[in-house]
């Protein structure tokens, strides 16, 4: 395992929650004449050259996202930090915010300078109260040290950061749902266009960035952008904070360059598989298609390779599954999750995820029938591209891929039903008095 440059996790375990320690470790060095002499355009160009891509899951180039924010629209520009980390298997932001809150603040000041933003909101999920405490403590220190507020370091620049505590909704990780939630509404995704960069929070230009994206900025600014770009792949620069969980010896958060082979991540970083042999890996969180052992052997952890294998890089959350698990049971867990977290807006997602979960439940409980799998595949086909946000596909995709790649697991459970081959006779179930 080659020692890699630590961009986001450099200060882990060093007590950087305190501003003095953080400054000793080189923190807030960017908040200096050099930044304040840069124009917005220069800074955005700088970030664009670093090839930084959004770390939340979609992987959109950050510099390009910033360049979409209209200038001089007469409306304030908001930066919203997406710390609503709720995807199964993802837990990097939790640790990043706990261990190094000042880096997030420093990154936000840089982003605010680039966008001319006056106020930023850190939308932190409700379960992460310890993180919020950590950030609030850091904010108090940063205000006291003059890094935030009005006339920062004697310039005309003014900037405030507020923490917004969410209250338990996975869907608020979607940027427009997050904005709705910030506005005090239900966290339901909005119709697009308009995109948030043009009309987001309170109808103003809004830039929603992941915690990790913002936390990479201080390092990028301290170094040459090409140095960051060359660490990754040609289309996505830099290192990535990977979350490895599941059946591995040392699950946890590891920073590695993009393009690291998957088996290196599992064997060298996470200490290898425990409890059995490798069966499957979910490379980008719970909503992506699994890779089986053969595919894992050749996969590298970057956007392009995983996309070519018909799965996705997502937030870099690897979930390793050994061969003692039945994939149908795991799919049932996902069915439970996504049907619980559907915002209830679009019909296919609202009713369909629940239905898929109920069918999966039947299979897992040993009451499955032949044809249930085909029905599920057909139903999940009905999700494709028809809903406002991709939550329905987050379940529909796994249903298709799990059943395609691990069909024998489903058949095994269905075979437990002695009557599985008998067709279901509808006449037996004539509607009753209230049907």
Partner 1 sequence: MSNYYNMPKLPTENSPKVEIFVDDKPVMVPGDTNLLEALKAVGIETPHVCYHPYLPVSGNCRQCLVEQEGPRGRMLVIACYTPVSPGMKIYTPASSARVKNARKATQEFMLVNHPLDCPICDKAGECTLQENYMEAGQNESRMRPEYGKNYHGNPEHQFIDAKGQLRGGKHVDLGPRVLLDEERCVQCDRCVRFMRSIAGSEQLQLAGRADHTYITTFPGEKLDHEYDLCVTDVCPVGAMTAKYFRFQKRVWLLSHTPTVSMDDSLGANIWLDYADGHIYRVMPRCNPVVNRSWLSNTSRLAFQEFDKNRLPSMEVHTPAFGNGKIAIVAGGTCTLEDLAAIRMLKEKLGDRAEIFGGSLLKVDAPDGIAKSGDPVANRAGMKLLGFADVADFMKRASEFETLVTVNADLFGEDPAAAGVLEKINCRVAITPFDDATAKKATIAMGVRHWSEVQGTMVNSLNMLQKLNACPVCPDENLWAAYQVVSYMAGSKFEAAADAFKKAGEYAPVLAGLTYDAIKSTGKLLEGGEA
Partner 2 sequence: MREHIQGAVQFVSNNHLKFDGPSEAIAALPDPGQTFGYVNKPVPQPAPKEVLAKLDTPEIKERCADLLSRYPVGQGALLEVLWLVQGVFGWVPTEGIRWAANVCGCAPAHALGVATFYTMYNHAPKGKFLLQFCRNISCSIKGAQPLIKYVENKLGIKSGETTPDGMFTVLQVECLGSCGNGPMMLVNDDFATDVVDGQLKMKRGTTLTEASIDRIIDWCKAHANNVPKHDVLGGVVKGHCGHPGAPGATAKPQVADYAPPSPVLNVKAEADETGATLTWKGAPEFTKIVVEKKNGSSWVAVGEPGVKDKAFVDAAGKVGDVYRMIATSGERTAKPSNEAVTTQKPAPVEEAK
Q: Which of partner 2, partner 1, none does residue 149 bind (CB under 5 to 8 Å by kind)?
A: partner 2
Q: Which of partner 2, partner 1, none does residue 36 bind (CB under 5 to 8 Å by kind)?
A: partner 2
Per-residue contact track with partner 2, 51 to 80, x per CB under 8 A? --------------------xx---x----
Region 340-369 residues binding partner 1, contact defined as CB under 8 A: 340-348, 350-355, 358-359, 362, 367
Asked if 159 and 112 touch (Cβ cutoff 8 Å), the reply is yes
* Residue number with CB closer to partner 1 (241 or 388): 388
Distance CA 62, CA 213 (A): 8
CA pseudo-torsion sign 65, 66, 70, 76: positive
Contact pick of 14, 21, 157, 272 for partner 2 (by CB under 8 A):
157
DSSP string, 173-214: GSHHHHHHHHTTS---PPPSSSPTTTS-GGGS-EEEEEHHHH
Contact pick of 5, 6, 14, 116 for partner 2 (by CB under 8 A):
116
* Residue number with CB closer to partner 2 (126 or 234): 126
Does 172 engage in binding with partner 1 (CB under 8 A)? no
Tokens 């919203």 belong to residue: 80
Q: Which of partner 2, partner 1, none does residue 423 bind (CB under 5 to 8 Å by kind)?
A: none
Distance CA 176, CA 335 (A): 23
H or E element at residue 143? helix 129-144
* Residue number with CB closer to partner 2 (385 or 432): 432
H or E element at residue 64? helix 62-67
Asked if 205 and 199 touch (Cβ cutoff 8 Å), the reply is yes
Region 359-398 residues binding partner 2, contact defined as CB under 8 A: none
Q: Please calculate the CA angle 147-181-100 and round it to the nearest 5 degrees.
A: 35
Per-residue contact track with partner 2, 300 to 339, x per CB under 8 A? -----------------x-x-x---x---xx--xx-xx--
Q: Which of partner 2, partner 1, none does residue 319 bind (CB under 5 to 8 Å by kind)?
A: partner 2
Region 380-419 residues binding partner 1, contact defined as CB under 8 A: 381-382, 384-388
Q: Which of partner 2, partner 1, none does residue 435 bind (CB under 5 to 8 Å by kind)?
A: partner 1
Q: Which of partner 2, partner 1, none does residue 362 bind (CB under 5 to 8 Å by kind)?
A: partner 1
Asked if 414 and 420 touch (Cβ cutoff 8 Å), the reply is yes
Whole-number minimum distance, CB 181 to partner 1, in Å?
Answer: 11
Total residues contacting partner 1 by CB under 8 A comes to 48
Whole-number minimum distance, CB 395 to partner 2, in Å?
Answer: 12
Asked if 132 and 83 touch (Cβ cutoff 8 Å), the reply is no
Q: What are the residues facing 244 on neighbouring strands?
A: 252, 318
Distance CA 337, CA 339 (A): 6
Give whole-number Cα distances, 239 to 55, 230, 242, 252, 264, in Å.
10, 10, 9, 16, 15
Residue numbers of the site for partner 1 (CB under 8 A)?
169, 176, 180, 185-186, 188-191, 203, 339-348, 350-355, 358-359, 362, 367, 375, 378-379, 381-382, 384-388, 424, 426, 429, 431-435
């Amino acid at each position: 395992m080659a020692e890699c440059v630590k961009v986001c996790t450099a200060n882990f375990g060093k007590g950087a929650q305190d501003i003095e320690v953080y400054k000793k470790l080189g923190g807030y060095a960017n908040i200096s004449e050099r930044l304040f002499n840069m124009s917005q355009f220069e800074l955005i160009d700088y970030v664009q050259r670093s090839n930084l891509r959004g770390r939340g899951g979609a992987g959109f180039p950050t510099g390009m996202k910033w360049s979409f924010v209209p200038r001089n629209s007469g409306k304030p520009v908001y930066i919203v930090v997406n710390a609503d980390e709720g995807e199964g298997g993802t837990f990097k932001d939790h640790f990043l915010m706990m261990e190094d809150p000042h880096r997030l603040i420093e990154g936000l000041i840089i982003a605010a300078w680039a966008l001319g933003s006056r106020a930023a909101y850190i939308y932190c999920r409700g379960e992460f109260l310890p993180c919020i405490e950590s950030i609030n403590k850091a904010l108090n220190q940063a205000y006291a040290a003059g890094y935030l507020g009005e006339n920062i370091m004697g310039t005309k620049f003014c900037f405030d950061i507020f923490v917004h505590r969410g209250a338990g909704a996975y869907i608020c990780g979607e940027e427009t749902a997050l904005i709705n939630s910030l506005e005090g509404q239900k966290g339901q995704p909005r119709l697009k266009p308009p995109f948030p960069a043009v009309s987001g929070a309170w109808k103003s230009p809004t830039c929603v960035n992941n915690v990790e994206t913002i936390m990479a900025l201080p390092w990028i600014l301290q170094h040459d952008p090409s140095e960051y770009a060359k660490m990754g792949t040609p289309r996505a620069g830099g290192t990535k904070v990977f979350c490895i969980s599941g059946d591995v010896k040392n699950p946890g958060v590891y920073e590695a360059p993009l393009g690291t082979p998957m088996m290196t991540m599992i064997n060298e970083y996470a200490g290898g598989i425990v409890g059995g042999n490798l069966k499957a890996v979910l490379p980008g969180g719970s909503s992506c298609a699994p890779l089986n052992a053969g595919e894992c052997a050749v996969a590298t952890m970057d956007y392009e390779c995983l996309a070519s294998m018909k799965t996705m890089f997502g937030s870099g959350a690897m979930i390793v599954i050994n061969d003692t698990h039945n994939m149908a049971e795991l799919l049932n867990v996902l069915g439970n999750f996504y049907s619980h977290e559907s915002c209830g807006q679009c019909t296919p997602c609202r009713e369909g995820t629940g239905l898929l979960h109920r069918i999966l439940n039947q299979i897992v409980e040993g009451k499955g029938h032949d044809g249930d799998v085909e029905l599920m595949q057909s139903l999940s086909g009905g999700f494709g591209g028809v809903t406002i946000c991709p939550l329905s596909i987050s379940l529909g995709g796994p249903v298709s891929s799990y059943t395609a790649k691990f069909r024998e697991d489903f058949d095994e459970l269905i075979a437990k039903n002695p009557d599985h081959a008998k067709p279901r006779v509808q006449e037996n179930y004539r509607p009753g008095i209230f049907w």
